[in-house]
Amino acid sequence: MASIWNHRISISLFGEAEGPAIGVVLDNIPPGEYIDIEDLARFMTRRTRSLFLPDDPNHQREQLDFPQVLSGLINDRTTGSPLCAFLNNPRGIGQVDYQNISRIARPGHADYTGAMRYRGFADVRSGGHLSERMTIPLCFAGAVCRQILERRGIYVAAQITSIHNIKDKPLSQTAVTKEDLLRIRNRRMPVNNPVQGKKMLADIQQASMGGETLGGTIACYAVNVPAGIGSPIFDGLENSIAQLVFGIPGVRGLEFGAGFQTAKMTGSQCNDAFYVDDRGHVLTKTNHHGGILGGISSGMPICFDVAIKPAASIGKPQETVDYSAMTNEVIQSAEAPHPCMVPESVPSVEAAMCIALVSHLLDYPNFV
C-alpha cells in the first residue's frame, strides 16, 4: 500500500486532510526506549507553526492537538508493540466547498492523477490523503526515531539553503558538528545566517501579497553515524532516505553530497581522499559522496539537498480543464494560498533521515 513504508521498522499513515483525524502506526520500534514527550511536542510544533505574516489570520497555519498515543508506550517507554499516535484534526469536515471543483484539475495538484488512479472516488478536499498534511504524522514517527538516535550520539538537522533567489551558506559537509546542527535547529527560521532568513521571509511576504508562492532548497545533515550502516544495490541507505523524502509532497529533487556537480568533475576531482586523523579515525578530506559509498555509510557526515516546489494553490486565475465534461476552464483557488512550504518541510526532511537511519541501524551490532 502507498501509505505504508516497511523496512525493518514499518510506518503506516492514516487519515485525510479534511477528515476528523490523522495518525500513524510504527511497528518494530525497539522496546524500552525512553520517549521525552515534551521534546516530541517541540518537534511537532516546528511542523505546524506559522512563520508568515503572524498578524494576518489568513496565513495562520492550524495547530493540532498533541497526539494521543493509543498503544506502544507505557510510562514514557516503548513496549515493543505497535506505537500508534492519533492526532485530532481541527479542520474537521471541510472548510471549503469542493463540490463544484471535484471534476476540475487544479494546476499543480494531484486531482486529475488521483481521479484516474482511484476511479473518481478519492477524497479531493484539500488533497485528501495526498495532502502535505500527511507529513504531520510522518513527523511524529521521525521525532520518535530522532530521540532513539540522539541517545546513541547521532544528531540530525536541516537548514533552509535557499528560498526563491535568496541563498544561505550551507554548513560544511566535512566539518559539520552536533553544535552546528543544534544551533540551526533551535532557530525559528532554520538558516545559517539569520540576516538571510529575514530576507527570505520578506520575499515570501512580497510574493504572497501578489498572489504567488515560492519554493526553495533544504540541506539535511546527520553526524556521528558510524561507518558500515546500510547495504548495496536495492537496500542502500540512500535508497531508504530517498523513498521517505519523496513521500513528502512538494519534493522535486534530491542529491547526495556534491550531487549533480559530480557530472562536471573528473575522477580525481570527485574521489574523496581517505586519511587517518589524530584520534585514529578513518575520514575523507572532502565529502563529495555525502557520507554514503555503495549504499553504506562511510563515517563522514551524511549530507543531502532537497528541492521543494512552490505551493500549488496560488491567488491567481489559472487555465485548466473539467475532466468530466471535457471542457476548458479557468479556476481561482478555493483555498487561502500558503506562500511557502519550505520552512514547514524542514522537520519533515529531518524525520525522513531519522526514520531511515534507525531502520538501518537495527542491523548494526549492539545497537539495540
Please provide the size of the chain in residues.
368
In a domain, 367, yes or no: no
366 in a domain, yes or no? no
* pLDDT tens for each residue of 127-138: 666 677 888 899
pLDDT value for 201: 95
The band of 96, judged by pLDDT with boundaries at 50, 70 and 90, is: low
Handedness of CA 361, 357, 61, 19 (dihedral sign): negative
pLDDT confidence bin for 126, thresholds 50/70/90: low
From the list 263, 265, 264, 284, the residue with the least C-alpha distance to 274 is: 284
Q: What is the CATH number of the domain that holds 173?
A: 3.60.150.10
Examine residue 368 and state whether it is found in any structural domain, yes or no: no
Q: How confident is the model at residue 199 (pLDDT cuts 50, 70, 90)?
A: very high
- When computed from its CA atoms, the radius of gyration of the chain, rounded to whole angstroms, is 21
DSSP secondary structure code for residue 313 in this structure: -
Cα separation values, 271 from 2, 265, 290, Å: 37, 9, 12
Mean pLDDT of 25-49: 91
- The domain total for the chain is 1
Distance CA 142, CA 136 (A): 10
Q: CA of 32: how far to CAs of 38, 80, 121, 241, in Å?
A: 18, 7, 42, 25
What pLDDT does residue 362 have? Answer: 94
Is residue 189 in a domain? yes
φ/ψ (deg, to 5) at 335: -105, 150
Quote the CA–CA distance of 334 and 51 in Å, as a whole number: 22
How many angstroms separate the CA atoms of 326 and 46, rounded?
A: 42
Section 235-244 average pLDDT? 97
pLDDT for residue 127: 60
Domain containing 271: what range?
A: 4-361
Average the pLDDT over 195-216 and give the result. Answer: 94
pLDDT in tens, 264-278: 999 999 999 999 999
Identify the pLDDT of residue 227. Answer: 96
Q: Under a CB-based contact definition with an 8 Å cutoff, are residues 222 and 73 in contact?
A: no
In a domain, 147, yes or no: yes
- Spatial CB neighbours of 99, under 8 Å, sequence gap ≥ 6: none
Q: What is the pLDDT of residues 309-338, one digit of tens each?
A: 999 888 888 888 888 788 898 887 766 668
pLDDT tens per residue, range 166-181: 999 999 999 999 999 9
C-alpha cell at 165: 533567489
Region 86-115: mean pLDDT is 69
The predicted model scores a pTM of: 0.91
Distance between CA atoms of 65 and 88, rounded to whole angstroms? 6
Within a domain: 92? yes
| Each residue's pLDDT tens digit, 48-60 | 765 554 444 444 4
H/E element, 303: strand 302-308
CA–chain centroid gap for 331, Å, is 29
Looking at residue 214, what DSSP letter applies?
B
- Give residue 59's pLDDT: 43
- Alpha carbon 163 to chain centroid, angstroms: 16
Distances (CA, A) of 359 to 85, 296, 352: 19, 13, 11
What's the half-sphere exposure (Cβ side, CA atoms, 13 Å) at 213? 23
Q: What is the pLDDT of residues 73-95, one digit of tens each?
A: 999 999 999 999 988 776 554 45
Residue 41 backbone dihedrals phi, psi, to 5 degrees: -65, -40
Instruction: Let me know if 170 is exposed, middle or buried by CB neighbors in 10 A (0-12, 13-18, 19+).
Output: middle
What is the DSSP annotation of 110-141? Answer: SHHHHHHHTTT-S--GGGGGGSGGGHHHHHHH
Q: Which pLDDT score, from 0 to 100, does residue 120 have?
A: 72
Alpha carbon of 77 to those of 13, 71, 83, 143, 209: distances in Å? 22, 11, 11, 14, 47
